Amino acid sequence: MEAGRSKLIVVGCGGVGLALLEQIALLEKQDKHSVAVVAVIDSKHALCSGIPEGRQLTADTLYEIISCKRQGKDLGSVKRVDRGEFNFHENGAEMLKTLVNSCEEFRHSRLIFADCTASDSTAAVLLEAVQNGAGIALANKKPITGPYDVYTALTQQGKSFRAESTCGAGMPLIATVTRLVRSGDKISKMAGALSGTLGYVMSGLEDGKAFSQVVREAKAAGYTEPDPRDDLSGTDVARKALILARLQGWRLELADVTVESLFPTEMGPDSMPLNNFMNEGLLALDAPIAKRVEEAAASDGALRYAATVQDGKCTVGLVVVPKQSALGQLRGTDNLLEVCSGCYNPNPLVLQGRGAGTETTASGILADILELDDCLPPVPEPEPEPACDNCFYGFVL
């Protein structure tokens, strides 16, 4: 392994984590060496090669990990291939803690942690890692949508923190908003469709389909979470809205975001089993949602499930937007963000593209990791051997 390459610890190897490993392995195979993966951790176990000596999990080992996990096997079944060397650890959480503790000792090893979990338990350990001089790249929104103090502590080391994939997957929403804020352009409003699932549902409603029909179609097509209420509740969009608000320095908490859920509390997962919701609950929602669609059409507008970040407030829910606006024209699962600012006025800056999918998200986090690799302090050159009495600038006299 080349000296000086950053060492990557991938935390979480589900859809996004495995797509990330696949993209890194492909680069290795093409001799376009990026970072060196030295550990892979899931909710139970860990595989780890050498830190700080610089061994890495080879591309063949990464493919072996991908194959095992995609077959539903655990990390313990990964076989050693070619020169791949690693240690298997029964307790992934413990191994993660050990690696984080090693950051300070091996500060010059340039460690980067990529959080590809959906867990809220990683924030504390990531905070320690960033304070110990490691780089952090997130696909997981939870560490930066918890308490504001944790958010600031994680992000204040701007050079060692990236989270582009937490909002809009691989689309550069965070980078764009950060550039505007840093350059002093005053953002007056951001409005966006930040859920591919809800975008699909809104397009179906616009085409005259019943809410129950379009939600069932979305579930069958794999666009929703296993329980579609995880999407329909709006909580995931609320986290994205909060991230956009915090980029502007707004001291808001998740509880401050006003969220309109597309189902009432009595149809929530704590009160109604999934089957009942799919078969009966959804049908009861058809009429009230069809009424909202009709009202929007009557005012020559389009009904969208949008996040609005304006005047110090975040709201998430159904809104009627002008049909000719970028949001009004949006169809299908794409994400879209309109940013109105001093410079982008009266026409907003509009970013649109695929806002979900494991490959897009993984390529976003890989781009973050490569940026961190550029930013982390270089590995110091080894101290030169002290000259002996008989040497003069390296020449033996």
- Pick one of 78, 99, 116, 177: the residue that binds ligand NAP (CB under 6 A): 116
- Pick one of 8, 10, 13, 321: the residue that binds ligand NAP (CB under 6 A): 13
Find out whether 215 is annotated in a ligand binding site: no
Is residue 234 at the binding interface for ligand NAP, with CB under 6 A as the rule? no
- Pick one of 49, 56, 117, 195: the residue that binds ligand NAP (CB under 6 A): 117
Q: Is 212 or 224 the residue whose CB approaches ligand NAP more closely?
A: 224
Shortest CB 93 distance to ligand NAP, Å: 6
CA atoms within 13 A on the CB side of 188: 10
Is residue 101 at the binding interface for ligand NAP, with CB under 6 A as the rule? no
**How many residues interact with ligand NAP (rule CB under 6 A)?**
27
Find out whether 260 is annotated in a ligand binding site: no
B/e letters for 96-116, b = 16+ CB within 10 Å, e = fewer, are beebbebbeebbebbbbbbbb
**Catalytic residues, which ones?**
240
Shortest CB 207 distance to ligand NAP, Å: 24
Other residues' Cβ atoms within 10 Å of the Cβ of residue 201: 26
- The whole-angstrom separation of Cα 91 and Cα 26 is 28
Shortest CB 324 distance to ligand NAP, Å: 29
Other residues' Cβ atoms within 10 Å of the Cβ of residue 226: 8
Considering only residues 193 to 232 of the shown chain, the ones binding ligand NAP according to CB under 6 A are: none
Q: Is 18 or 190 the residue whose CB approaches ligand NAP more closely?
A: 18
Q: Is 119 or 235 the residue whose CB approaches ligand NAP more closely?
A: 119
Shortest CB 47 distance to ligand NAP, Å: 12
Is residue 133 at the binding interface for ligand NAP, with CB under 6 A as the rule? no
- Structure-token pair, residue 288: 């009230």
Shortest CB 173 distance to ligand NAP, Å: 12
- The whole-angstrom separation of Cα 59 and Cα 333 is 33
Find out whether 14 is annotated in a ligand binding site: yes
Binding mask 153-192 for ligand NAP (x = CB under 6 A): ------------x---x-----------------------
Q: Is 8 or 267 the residue whose CB approaches ligand NAP more closely?
A: 8
Torsion of CA 257, 261, 266, 272, to 10 degrees: -120
Shortest CB 17 distance to ligand NAP, Å: 6
Shortest CB 371 distance to ligand NAP, Å: 18
- Number of helices (H), then strands (E), in the chain: 15, 15
CA distances to 235, 277, 291, 293, 315 from 261, in Å = 8, 14, 16, 16, 11
Answer yes or no: are the C-beta atoms of 327 and 350 closer than 8 Å.
Answer: no
Question: 306 forms bridges with which residues in the sheet?
Answer: 317
- Structure-token pair, residue 318: 């159904």
At residue 350, φ and ψ (nearest 5 deg) are -120, 130
CA atoms within 13 A on the CB side of 76: 7
Q: Is 92 or 135 the residue whose CB approaches ligand NAP more closely?
A: 92
Q: Contact region for ligand NAP (CB under 6 A) — 7-15, 221-229, 265-273, 317-325?
A: 7-15
- Pick one of 12, 135, 146, 228: the residue that binds ligand NAP (CB under 6 A): 12
Residue 47 zone, left/alpha/beta (φ > 0; ψ -120 to 50; rest): beta
Q: Is 317 or 357 the residue whose CB approaches ligand NAP more closely?
A: 357
Nearest Cα to Cα of residue 234 among 175, 190, 192, 287: 192
Give Cα 24 distance to the centre of its chain: 17
Considering only residues 25 to 84 of the shown chain, the ones binding ligand NAP according to CB under 6 A are: 41-44
- The whole-angstrom separation of Cα 385 and Cα 179 is 45
Binding mask 358-397 for ligand NAP (x = CB under 6 A): x--x------------------------------------
Output the known binding site.
Answer: 12-17, 117, 141, 225
For ligand NAP, the binding residues (CB under 6 A) are 11-17, 41-44, 92, 116-119, 121-122, 139-141, 165, 169, 356-358, 361
